[in-house]
Structures are given as C-alpha cells and as structure tokens.
Amino acid sequence: MKFLLKGKRMEDYKLIDFQILGDERGSLIAIEQGYDVPFDIKRVYYIFDTKDGVNRGFHAHINLKQICIAVKGSCIFVLDDGYKREEIKLANPNQGLLIEGLIWREMKDFSPNCILVVLASEHYSENDYIRDYNKFKEFVIEKEKTEKY
C-alpha cells in the first residue's frame, strides 16, 4: 500500500495504490480489510448512471471513513479541509481515495460509464452528514480547539 497524497492533517485523505494481480487472462484486484482498508467495512455502495453535468456530494462526515474507487470510468473529487480545496481525479480501478478526516467533498465530471464503488466504515446514518458548508467550518474550528488540548 503506497500513500501518494496528504491532506492538511496527515490522516485526512490519501490516494492508495492497490496491487494488480494480473495474468495473461486479465486483471484482478483484491482489497482486504486490515491490509488495504484501515477500518472494518460495514457498508458497500456504488454510484453509477450519473447524468451528464450532475455534481454530487456537497457534505462532510463526522465519523465515517471511506475508500472510493472508480472501478470503471472516471470522476473528480473536490476535497476541502475548511481552508483549502484540492481536486483529485479517480480514473484507475487500482487506485482508491481514502477519506478519514473532517473533509467537505464534492464529486463532479463523472464520465458516462463511471462506476464509483465506496467502502464505508459505518452503516448509513443521515446524522453523520454535515450538509451545510458554514456548519462544516464550525465543526473544523471546534475540532482544532479540541486537538490543541
């Protein structure tokens, strides 16, 4: 597992390379909890058939950890730690975007064939979502205060 990118805080988000176990028949990737995924996987969901020009996300999570993989096609993640924004293009089935921290995310530029698979650390709960950007900034400031002490 190779970490390529860092957020403002080390643990916020990282791009992970998965090993391709290919042979003459084609390619295979195995993702194993504990080795490639640093959390217990409680939920898997996937986003597909995204309509042209549609942007998704526009929220942060309080506790949820996720790994997002474009197993087919591509899309762009906009990641915001409350201070700066970074765009990461997911376009390879052997790369996963691990998001662990308090990060506002938006997804855009989905290719028509994009299938985005997400491995998640928790069951679905609307209570874990921060869907208001100003509230997100308040959470960031609060988190920083508690991290200082």
Positions annotated as catalytic residues are 59
Stretch in the footprint of ligand T46 (CB under 6 A) among 21-29, 41-49, 84-92, 135-143: 41-49
CB proximity list for 93: less than 8 A, separation 6 or greater? 27, 29, 69, 70, 71, 72
Least distance to ligand T46 from the beta carbon of 49, Å? Answer: 12
Q: CA-to-CA distance for 13 and 97, rounded, in angstroms?
A: 7
Q: Cβ distance 68 to 56 under 8 Å? A: no
Query: Is residue 105 at the binding interface for ligand T46, with CB under 6 A as the rule?
Result: yes
Stretch in the footprint of ligand T46 (CB under 6 A) among 12-20, 31-39, 42-50, 138-146: 42-50
Q: Which residues bind ligand T46 (CB under 6 A)?
A: 43, 45, 47, 56-57, 66, 68, 105, 118, 124
